[in-house]
Structure 1
Amino acid sequence: MTGRVTFPKLTAAELDLQLKSDSALIARNDTLTARADADIKIAGPLTSANVTGTVSMTNSHILKNLDLIPIGLPGRPAPQPPAARPEFSFPDPPLRDWKFDVQIKTKDPVLIRGTLANGGAMSDLHLGGTGLRPTLDGMVRLDNVEATLPFSRLEVSSGVVYFSPDDSFNPRLDLHGTSVIHDHTIHVYVYGTALQPEAIFTSEPPLPQEEIISLLATGTTREELTGSNNVLAGRAAMLLGQQLYRKIFKKGEPTQTNSVFDRLDVDVGTVDPRTGQQQATARFKINDQFVFVGDIGVGGDYRGMLKYLIRFR
C-alpha cells in the first residue's frame, strides 16, 4: 500500500491511497479460500471516499455443497428457502457513504468442489453504489460443472448467473444441463432467481414431467416402481451403498467424475419380457457408446449383452 492521508482540517481527513496485491489471501474459512490480484485506489474525504480499480480472483476455491437442481432428491435434504434475504451493507460511517467503481474478474476459474457439484466459475462483475447500498452488475459463468444426482450425473453445458443493480443479491439463473439415465437423455433447464428457482425437464424419448423427475430421483420410472416393491428396494440399497462408500472411503473428499457408482446401475425385481419372471439386472456404462448389461433370473439363468447406443440429435 502506498499513498498519504492529509488533514486539511483537524477533523476531516483526505485519503489518497493505492493498494496493489499479487495473489493476496482475502478470505479463508471452512468452505472458501479466496485469493486476488488487486489494483485499488481510494481517494477523497474519509467520510465519502471514491474506491476505484480492479480485483482479479486467482487460486480460489469453494468447498461447499451447491445444489443446482431445485427439487428434493433421495440422499440429500430438500431445498429450503433462505431464512432471511441475503444483504450486504455498511450502515455506519465512514464506509456508509463511500462510492465504489470496482471491476471484479477472474484471472483463472474459481474451483467448485463438493459432494453435489464440481467445476469452476468465471466472473465479470462491476461493484458499484455506496457502502450503504452496494450493487453488483454483470454475470458469473459456470465452467465444466457437473451436478451429482443419486443415479447419474448432470453435465451443465451452459450456466450463467446474472446480477443486476436493481436486485444485486437475488441474481437470475440460466442453467442448461443434460443427464443420461439408461436409454433416456434428460434435459434440465433451471431459471428464475436464486431465491425462487424453477426447473423444466424434457427427455428423449419424450416422457411426462413426473416420469422424468422419477428418473432423476430414483433412476427408474413410476411405472417400474409401482410394478414391484423389489425395484424400490433395489434403488434404496444402491443409494445406501453409495452413501456408505463415500462416508467410509471418501469422507471429506469431493465426488469424482466416472466413479464406479456413477457407471453401475442395479435393478432387483424387474420382469424379464421373454419369460415373464422376475430377474436382477446390472448395467455398467463403459463409455458414452457402450454399456454392458447382465441379467440373472430366479432360476439361475444368466444373460450378458454389450449394447452400442446411437443417439439422434
Structure 2
Amino acid sequence: MEFQHILPATVAAKAEVKSDSLQIDVSLDGIAEKTMKASFKIPVIFSLSPFAFSLLPDARVKGQLAAKINLALIQMLLQMEDQSIEGYVTVDLGLAGTTDAPEITGFARIEKAAYENVRSGTILKDIHVLMKANGRKMVLEEARATDGEDGIISAEGWLDLLFTKESPFQLDVNLDKATLLRQDNLTASMGGHITLSGSLNDVVSRGRLVVGTSEIRIPDRFTPKITELEVVEINLPNNEMHRQKLAPVSTAQRLSLNLEVELPGRVFVRGRGLDSEWKGTLHVKGSLQNPAIRGDMSVIRGNVNLFGKRFALIKGELAFNGTVPSSMSLDVTAENRRTDMTTRVHISGDLSSPRVTLESDPPLPSDEVLSHLLFRRSTTRITPLQAFQLARAIKALTGGGVNALDFMEYTRKLLGVDQLAVVQSEESAGDTSVIIGKNLGEDIYIKAEKGVGSSKDKVSAEFEITPNIILDSEVGKDAQGGIGLNWKWDY
C-alpha cells in the first residue's frame, strides 16, 4: 500500500482458525524505524458444518502490540489538511483477561514531536507524552509541550477502557503563558486551567483562563468576500478519487464549552489609527463547532491618531455578542482639545467594518470639523492643495484610504514599547513631542515625553494601587514635578 507523503509499506498477515481459537499475526514494514508487530489469540467457536463463528464468553484472551509509528500517518488518516504533525509514537501494549473483561497493560510514549495548525496559528514543539495502561484504565501520566517560545502546556488524565464511545474520561490541562493563537488579527497568550470530562461521545469543557499580553488588530483594509466556486476535478487516478470521497473523522459527537476568560489588562487593540489597552471578562459557551463568546472589554488607556492629530480615549467598549469575529462590535469615543475647538471622534459598529463619525464643540459639519482640525481654518479659506488633502482625509475616514501610520506601528514594535505617538502642541504650532509608553508588570505604566525643538521633556508614572485608586507622578527636565491620587468608580 502507499499513502501520500508516506513511504511505501509492506504488510505480512497470518490468520489461523481452530475450533476453539483464532490466532492473528501481523507485521508492517516501511512507515517507521522499527517493524510494527501485532499478535492476538482470541477464543472462538468455529465450525464449517454447520457454519458457526462467535466469541467464547468469559474465555481467556491474549495479545501483544509493539510499534514505533510515524505521526504523519495519523495526520493522513484523519485528513488534517490544515494541520501537520511530526514525530513518532512508541507503543508496547499487552492484552489479557477475558472476552467479557479484557485488560490492557503497557505504555505509549511520544517524544520530541511537533504540531502546527495553520488556521489558528497554534504551534506545539518539544511534545512529550507518556501513557500507561493498567488493566481497565489508561492513565496519562505526563504530557508537556511548549508553544514554540516561552509558553508551556501540560496535562494529565485518565480513560476507563470500556471499549465503547461511552467510556468515561477526564483530562486536566494547564497553561502557563502559552500563546496558542497567532492569527493576522488576533494574537493571544494565556494561563489557567481547563478540564475536559464526560465520555468519548459527549465531551464537556470547563475552566478559567487568564489572558496575558495579547493583541487584536483592526485591518487597515478589509478583503471583500469572494464567492466560493464548486470545483469538480476529472481524470484523477482512482486512489485520488477514493481519498477525496473519504469523510473527515470526528473526534467527538459533541464538545460543549463552559469557560470563563479573565483579561486583567495588557490586551491591546490596534489598527486604523487606534492604539489602546483594554481589560474585561468573557464567557465562552456553545460547542467547539459553534462557539459563542459573550462579555465586554473596557479601555484602560489609549489614543486614536487621525491625520497627525492625537485624540485621547475618553470612552471605550469592545462587546462580544456571540460568534467571533462577526459579532464583535466596537464603541470608542476619543477627544482632541484645543483652545478654539474641541473635536470628538466616535468609532462604532462591527469590528470588521467600523463606522467613524466626527463632531465638535462648537458644532460644525463634518467637513468643517476636518478642515479646522487639519488647517485651523474653514473650507472656504483653504488652498487647492489643502482641499485635495481634505478630500483624501474624508476618504480615509470612511475606510477607502490608506493608513499613513504603518511606519509608527513598525517603529513601536521594533522598540518593544506599548505606546508610540508624535503629538503637536495645541497652544504652539511649532512644538512637537514624541511620547513613548511601557507597561512594567500589571500595575505600573511609565510614559516619557521628549520635546522636539523645545524643552518640554518629562517622565510620568501611573501605579494602580487598587482597581479604583491610581497614583500619578510626573517630573520634568528641570526636576520639578508633582504627585496625585486619582479615584474612579465605574457604575
In structure 2, the residue matched to 1:101 is 258
In structure 2, the residue matched to 1:175 is 332
In structure 1, the residue matched to 2:424 is 263
Cα distance between partner residues in 2 of 1:203 and 1:6: 67
Task: Give the conservation status (yes or no) of the 8 Å contact 1:224–1:231.
Answer: no
Matches within 5 A, 1:1-313: 1-10=155-164, 12-28=166-182, 33-58=187-212, 60-62=213-215, 64=217, 66=218, 80=222, 82-83=224-225, 93-95=250-252, 97-112=254-269, 116-165=273-322, 169-180=326-337, 183-215=340-372, 221-225=378-382, 228-229=383-384, 231=386, 257=420, 259=422, 262-263=423-424, 282-284=429-431
Structure 1 residues 136, 217: CA separation in 2 closer, same or farther (over 3 Å shift)? Answer: farther
Cα distance between partner residues in 2 of 1:167 and 1:243: 27
Cα distance between partner residues in 2 of 1:164 and 1:244: 30
- One-letter identity of the residue aligned with 1:159: G
Cα distance between partner residues in 1 of 2:168 and 2:405: 59
- One-letter identity of the residue aligned with 1:61: S
Cα distance between partner residues in 1 of 2:288 and 2:305: 38
Cα distance between partner residues in 2 of 1:235 and 1:115: 18
- One-letter identity of the residue aligned with 2:210: S
Task: Give the conservation status (yes or no) of the 8 Å contact 2:408–2:421.
Answer: no
Higher relative contact order (CA 8 A, sep 6+): 1
Structure 1 residues 83, 55: CA separation in 2 closer, same or farther (over 3 Å shift)? Answer: same
Cα distance between partner residues in 1 of 2:185 and 2:323: 28
- One-letter identity of the residue aligned with 2:263: T
In structure 1, the residue matched to 2:447 is none
Cα distance between partner residues in 2 of 1:256 and 1:196: 24
> Structure 1 stretches of 5 or more lacking a match?
68-76, 86-90, 237-241, 266-280, 287-313
Which string of whole-angstrom CA distances, capped at 9 and with x for unpartnered residues, describes residues 56-100 of structure 1? 101x13284x37xxxxxxxxx6x5465379xxxxx9622562000
> Structure 2 stretches of 5 or more lacking a match?
1-154, 228-247, 392-403, 434-491
Task: Give the conservation status (yes or no) of the 8 Å contact 1:50–1:98.
Answer: yes
Cα distance between partner residues in 1 of 2:184 and 2:347: 28
Higher strand proportion, which one?
A: 2
Task: Give the conservation status (yes or no) of the 8 Å contact 2:343–2:360.
Answer: yes
Structure 1 residues 127, 84: CA separation in 2 closer, same or farther (over 3 Å shift)? Answer: farther
Task: Give the conservation status (yes or no) of the 8 Å contact 1:149–1:216.
Answer: no
Cα distance between partner residues in 2 of 1:30 and 1:80: 12
Which string of whole-angstrom CA distances, capped at 9 and with x for unpartnered residues, describes residues 153-186 of structure 1? 1222111122223787322332111123673211
Cα distance between partner residues in 2 of 1:174 and 1:243: 21
Report the identity percentage: 19
Task: Give the conservation status (yes or no) of the 8 Å contact 2:206–2:259.
Answer: yes
Higher helix proportion, which one?
A: 1
SS of residue matched to 2:431 = strand
Cα shift at 1:135: 0.5
In structure 2, the residue matched to 1:300 is none
Task: Give the conservation status (yes or no) of the 8 Å contact 2:345–2:359.
Answer: yes
Task: Single out whichever of 157-166 and 188-197 deviates more from structure 2.
Answer: 188-197
Cα distance between partner residues in 2 of 1:232 and 1:179: 22
Cα shift at 1:106: 1.3
Task: Single out whichever of 35-44 and 190-199 deviates more from structure 2.
Answer: 190-199
Cα distance between partner residues in 1 of 2:279 and 2:366: 32
Cα distance between partner residues in 1 of 2:320 and 2:184: 26
Structure possessing the higher radius of gyration over alpha carbons: 2
Cα shift at 1:34: 2.5
Task: Give the conservation status (yes or no) of the 8 Å contact 1:218–1:235.
Answer: no
Q: TM-score of the superposition, structure 2-length normalised? A: 0.42
Task: Give the conservation status (yes or no) of the 8 Å contact 2:412–2:420.
Answer: no
| RMSD across aligned positions (CA) | 4.1
Structure 1 residues 231, 84: CA separation in 2 closer, same or farther (over 3 Å shift)? Answer: closer
What is the number of equivalent residue pairs in this alignment? 246
Task: Give the conservation status (yes or no) of the 8 Å contact 2:325–2:351.
Answer: no
